[in-house]
Amino acid sequence: MALSKHINADRLLQEARDKKSKSHSHFSSLTQRETPNSSSFHPYGSRYGTTSVPKYHIASKGIDPDSAYQIIHDELALDGSPLLNLASFVHTWMPSAADKLMIENMSKNLIDGDEYPATQIIHNRCDAIGTATTGSSEAIQLGGLAMKRIWQEKRKAAGKSIYEPNIIMGANAQVALEKFARYFDVECRLVPISVESKYRLDPKKAMEFVDENTIGVFVILGSTYTGHYEPVKEMSDLLDEYEAKTGHSVPIHRPCATPKLLWDFKIPRVVSINTSGHKFGLAYVGVGWVVWRDKQHLPKDLIFELHYLGSVEYSFSLNFSRPAAPIIAQYFSLLHLGFEGYRSVALNDLKNARLLSRALENSKYYTVLSDIHRLDPAVVDESDIESYVPGLPVIAFRFSDDFQAQYPEIQQKWIQTLLRARGWIVPNYELAPALEKVEILRVVVRENMSEVLIERLVNDLMEITEDLISKDSSTHALDILGRGHGAKHERAHGQLDDPGSTSSGTYAKTC
Amino acid sequence: MSLSRHINADEVIEKSKEHQHRKHTASLGRQTVHQSWSRDDAAGVPKYTMPKVGINSKAAYQLLHDETALDGNPLLNLASFVHTWMPEEANKLIIENMNKNQVDLDEYPAATIIHSLADLWKAPKEGKVIGTSTAGSSEAIMLGGLAMKKRWQEARKAAGKDHYHPNIVFGSNAQVALEKFARYWDVEARLVPVNASTNYVMNPHDAIEYIDENTIGVMVILGSTYTGHFEDVQLMSDLLDKLQERTGLDIPIHVDGASGAFIAPFAYPDYKWAFDVPRVVSINTSGHKFGLVYAGLGWILWRDESLLHKDLIFELHYLGSVEYSFTLNFSKPASPIIAQMFNFLNLGFDGYRRIAMKDLRNARMLSRALEATYFTVMSNIHKLSARGQAELATAEDTDEPELYERGLPVVSFRLSDKFAAEFPHVQQAWIQSMLRTKGWIVPNYNAPEGETDTQILRVVVRETLSEDLLERLIVDILEITEGLMDSSTAAMLLQNQTLHQPDKEHGRPDNFGSTGQEEKQQVGFSRPC
């Protein structure tokens, strides 16, 4: 990422400009006050048609809102289409009535509980002992923090050291889980994954990592790699045995992507659960939830009392002021869809995911690593969801062994680039530690990924793959593209020259 | 607030309903929910569980739309620092990008803003500033504190010393986020008491006494949320220089500029508080306060990337490129960043300056009106500075903020001693309640630790509080106060007013898991910020 290796695009552009347009030098002084140019009110107004918008400082004079709108609007056209972004779990479509509600509440702050009691009440209806967060990252950190604090209190009471806590999770964990460990000084014990463990936490192996300093186990309901659910029950049983043997009680926190499986607390060892409202909770980005089994598992120490306008509020989150609109959108979805609606959306997602999985497998070019399309051999009814292996509507796939043997020169990451050229965003990446040699492509099937779009995607995938097979295809020339998006001059600014950090192995995809 | 003392309103409502057998027709998903709606579709929607069968989107909209009508009007909410209005074109941009995740947003807008802020905050050109957007100042402050903690830990480890007992120093006027940082990250919070003689902000001379080898840093607040006063960054830095000469302790400063970092550069461009003070390692601010963006945006910048501990940076390999992440949230809305970019383009330096000057002018008008009547004003921005005393009479532009004492456009006031002596039956808290009935939200609360017996009413003068509205506010405050002088007024009834809100109690903590230890007294300021 060091700039010196690259051409300096800023300088390149500067030198490429007409020499006479030096007039923008007046932006360089912040305190200078000159009379405003007669600015035009056309979106592509003459003012910014001829001078450049300053990049690294705020302009001394503003421009009219129309031009500001147009400049930003056009710049954002370069962003990918949220609909075709199959890399992200984040929900991107809501009915127009929900859009309208969000727009109405755009300027509202969730924290103004007393000013906006209705908003606050809605929030309370959504959860028991818990809180809304900006997303699952914050929720996971709160869950981990509560477990850490409870462990500390126990250790203190027993007169033991409180300084070497550790937490256990599968190596397939999303980056937020490891972030918790590093930010809160908890040793992160990653349990390696394997093909046999279905690319997720192996409870038996996890037990080798447990000791008296273990504050808890993160069990992931829905691995972001392959969509597999981790076996909570088995983990809990093993921890029961451990407790019987050693007297150490290790709790479980469970991040999960979909709210449809709230039977989790039926397992007594599960003390807290987090989820993203903005994933399969079907609200726009900006809402997560964390719920604790009961008040005993949320240490009072972490709760701040807010005395405000004559009433008392409680706060246990890492953000304070935050938009109220995502919470309102979440409540809208709960009301509008109801249990049946969520079920129907989930079943539909899974049906479409199965369609894609089977198509990929039948093509023989690809091997599918996720299992949601595999039938329980005992069952015959293909339309009953219970007949299939449970999991998220996520398809992880790779070139089949046959394909790799036959076309060893074709690199799987080319598929990512070639799909991108057609508008699709489908990431190609390595599996978690222990299996990092295996590269997978992954598609998340969200509500707006309709059957029609699945069909288009399959068509495009097959076309691209077959183009690569035919030797005379010019797409071979794309070899060089496999390295990514080319040099990112803009990105180099405000970024690290030498980050010094190395990829830790945990999963760092959008989540 | 325990439930047992009250009537259970839910139960009463339930008993009062007619229990007719309603037939629900099973519907599946969005596709089969009928688009036309019957007006009572939403009747009988369960409150604390998800309905089994949904209602159509229009009915869901109407139900929520109507419920939010009970919320306060953001325009009249003078309690909050959070911005609530943007031009139409900005709204349009936000709506267009409502479903966009910041993680998927091109980096260009955020990088531009970070560089512009670095420039505004006078970061040295030779350094390599690094920064990030956050969900708000809370997250930003926690990241700033965390970076200081990690650096301290590393230095202590390297020196072979105990690294388990860090502490942090800040004024007792701090917003609750600062104390939250301390408690969540196992850092001892050392609160420096404040009082009227310190202008209700941390006095750097007092702060020095709380510092020892375990101090990870000092948080200096640019713009106390109590009174709007700026804490003296330069003096703190000078005193810490002397301390370092004496003891060798090198204590960094983090500036909490949640409000002030978007006021000072525009209203007081020559004032030294930012990266031009070498001891300042990091600064946070809220885009959604005087950055003039809707709720959901904060910023933190470090003077140099070496100050952000490597441990805190996560490298994300994503779609063939490498990203770096050092935030507590991951996915979050992209639109606030886009809105911030819009303001930078639309307003420019000059636009931000004009708004800051207008806010300050309006705040001065309110202050003077209050002082001329029944109140004592505790904020200082309407008082002439030394320069103002010398130059005001001849000044070309009497709006020049430097003619007055520096601070946020915040007016903190209380009933004057004379008024209190003459009308001892009047409780200041009544003014809050009476203003609420007119639509205004003006909080009344206790001053910070060290001066807790004093009660403060506070008005934040934001862009939306125009001179015209301000005149209305002044009229209402005076009318209410005069009404209260009459002891027979019905306002007496307010004495016993505590709102009972059964909905709020559901799922609310009444007896959290006791941690076994003695409960810590929380003193941090807990206003929305």
Partner residues linked to B410 by β-bridges: B460
- In this predicted model, what pLDDT tens digit does every residue of B109-136 receive, in sequence order? 888 899 999 999 999 988 789 999 999 9
Contact B465, B78 (CB under 8 A): yes
Cα four-point dihedral sign B273, B275, B281, B286: positive
Positions of E strands within B238-396: 253-256, 280-286, 298-302, 314-318, 321-325, 375-377
Minimal CA–CA distance to A66: which of B341, B96, B90? B90
Query: Confidence class of residue A208 from pLDDT cuts 50, 70 and 90?
Result: very high
The shortest C-alpha distance from B84 to chain A (Å) reads 5
Residue of B nearest to A74 (CA): B93
CA-based max dimension of chain A: 82
Q: In this complex, which of B107, B341, B347 lies closest to A62 when CB atoms are compared? A: B347
- Chain A hits for B53, CB-CB cut-off 8 Å, are 338-341
ipTM score assigned to the predicted complex: 0.80
What is the pLDDT, as a whole number, of residue A459? 92
- Chain A hits for B96, CB-CB cut-off 8 Å, are 73, 76
- Please tell me the distance from the alpha carbon of residue B193 to that of residue B206, in angstroms, as a whole number: 8
Report, as an integer, the average pLDDT of A103-126: 62
Q: One-letter amino acid identity for B197?
A: S
Partner residues linked to B325 by β-bridges: B314
Residue of B nearest to A89 (CA): B331
Other beta carbons within 10 angstroms of residue B132's beta carbon come to: 20
- Rg of the Cα atoms in chain A: 26
Q: Are the beta carbons of A135 and B102 separated by less than 8 Å? A: no
Lowest mean pLDDT among A45-54, B22-31, B151-160: B22-31
- Please tell me the distance from the alpha carbon of residue B72 to that of residue B80, in angstroms, as a whole number: 12
Per DSSP, B384 falls in state B
Q: Are the beta carbons of A76 and B87 separated by less than 8 Å? A: no
Report, as an integer, the average pLDDT of B417-442: 90
What is the pLDDT, as a whole number, of residue B413? 96
Report, as an integer, the average pLDDT of A404-422: 89
Query: Confidence class of residue B19 from pLDDT cuts 50, 70 and 90?
Result: low
Angle between helices A413-421 and A451-469 (to 10 degrees): 120
User: Residues of chain B with pLDDT > 90: what percent?
Assistant: 56
- In this predicted model, what pLDDT tens digit does every residue of B162-179 receive, in sequence order? 999 999 999 999 988 899
- Please tell me the distance from the alpha carbon of residue A182 to that of residue A189, in angstroms, as a whole number: 11
Q: Are the beta carbons of B111 and A178 separated by less than 8 Å? A: no
Tell me if the pTM is above 0.80.
Answer: yes
Cβ-based contacts under 8 A for chains A and B: 509
Contact B94, B329 (CB under 8 A): no
User: Residues of chain B with pLDDT > 70: what percent?
Assistant: 83
Angle between helices A325-362 and A96-104 (to 10 degrees): 150
More confident residue, B368 or B492: B368
What is the pLDDT, as a whole number, of residue A376? 72
Q: CB-hemisphere CA count at 13 Å for A421?
A: 13
- In this predicted model, what pLDDT tens digit does every residue of A431-489 receive, in sequence order? 887 888 899 999 999 998 888 899 999 999 999 898 888 865 555 555 544 444 333 33
Alpha helix stretches (DSSP H) within B121-175: 137-158
**pLDDT of B7 above 70:** no
A179 in contact with chain B, both atoms CB, cutoff 8 A: yes
Alpha helix stretches (DSSP H) within A363-443: 401-406, 413-421
- Chain B hits for A100, CB-CB cut-off 8 Å, are 61
What is the pLDDT, as a whole number, of residue A493? 40
Best B303, B397, B512, B525 member to test A by mutation, with max A CBs in 10 Å, is: B512
How, if at all, do strands B167-171 and A439-444 pair?
A: unpaired
Can you read off the two tokens belonging to residue A347?
A: 């079943």
A298 in contact with chain B, both atoms CB, cutoff 8 A: yes
- A:347-386 residues touching chain B, CB 8 A cutoff: 348
Task: Look at chain A and count its residues.
Answer: 511
- Chain A hits for B269, CB-CB cut-off 8 Å, are 30-31
Positions of E strands within A352-510: 366-368, 394-399, 428-430, 439-444
Q: Is B170 helix (H, G, I), strand (E, B) or coil?
A: strand
The shortest C-alpha distance from B242 to chain A (Å) reads 32
A108 in contact with chain B, both atoms CB, cutoff 8 A: yes
Per DSSP, B304 falls in state S
A293 Cβ contact partners less than 8 Å away, ≥ 6 residues apart: A129, A265, A270, A271, A272
Q: Across chain B, what does the average pLDDT equal?
A: 84
Q: Are the beta carbons of B269 and A31 separated by less than 8 Å? A: yes
Q: In this complex, which of B115, B347, B513 lies closest to A296 when CB atoms are compared? A: B513
Q: Are the beta carbons of A75 and B109 separated by less than 8 Å? A: yes
Contact B489, B495 (CB under 8 A): no
Report, as an integer, the average pLDDT of B127-149: 93
**pLDDT of A511 above 50:** no
Minimal CA–CA distance to A367: which of A393, A413, A400, A396? A400
Query: Confidence class of residue B501 from pLDDT cuts 50, 70 and 90?
Result: very low
- In this predicted model, what pLDDT tens digit does every residue of B58-71 receive, in sequence order? 888 888 888 777 77
Determine the Cα angle at B220 with ends B126 and B348, to 5°. 55
Determine the Cα angle at B348 with ends B353 and B275, to 5°. 70
User: Residues of chain A with pLDDT > 70: what percent?
Assistant: 76
Report, as an integer, the average pLDDT of A385-390: 81
Pick the most confident of A116-130, B274-288, B303-317. B274-288
Q: In this complex, which of B47, B80, B138 lies closest to A112 when CB atoms are compared? A: B80
The shortest C-alpha distance from B408 to chain A (Å) reads 19
Query: Confidence class of residue A20 from pLDDT cuts 50, 70 and 90?
Result: low
Residue of B nearest to A80 (CA): B104
The position carrying tokens 């709760």 is A303
Contact B458, B477 (CB under 8 A): no
- Chain A hits for B99, CB-CB cut-off 8 Å, are 82, 91-94, 284-285
Contact A258, A347 (CB under 8 A): no
User: Residue B458 is inside which H or E element, if any?
Assistant: strand B455-460
Residue of B nearest to A506 (CA): B316
- Please tell me the distance from the alpha carbon of residue A278 to that of residue A85, in angstroms, as a whole number: 15
Report, as an integer, the average pLDDT of B458-479: 93
**pLDDT of B255 above 60:** yes
The shortest C-alpha distance from A153 to chain B (Å) reads 6
**pLDDT of B491 above 70:** no
Report, as an integer, the average pLDDT of B273-301: 95
Q: In this complex, which of B71, B180, B318 lies closest to A508 when CB atoms are compared? A: B318
More confident residue, A121 or B1: A121
- In this predicted model, what pLDDT tens digit does every residue of A63-78 receive, in sequence order? 888 888 888 888 888 8
Query: Confidence class of residue B47 from pLDDT cuts 50, 70 and 90?
Result: low
CA-based max dimension of chain B: 82
Task: Look at chain B and count its residues.
Answer: 529
Q: CB-hemisphere CA count at 13 Å for B458?
A: 28
- In this predicted model, what pLDDT tens digit does every residue of A27-73 receive, in sequence order? 433 333 333 443 434 445 444 454 567 777 888 888 888 888 888 88
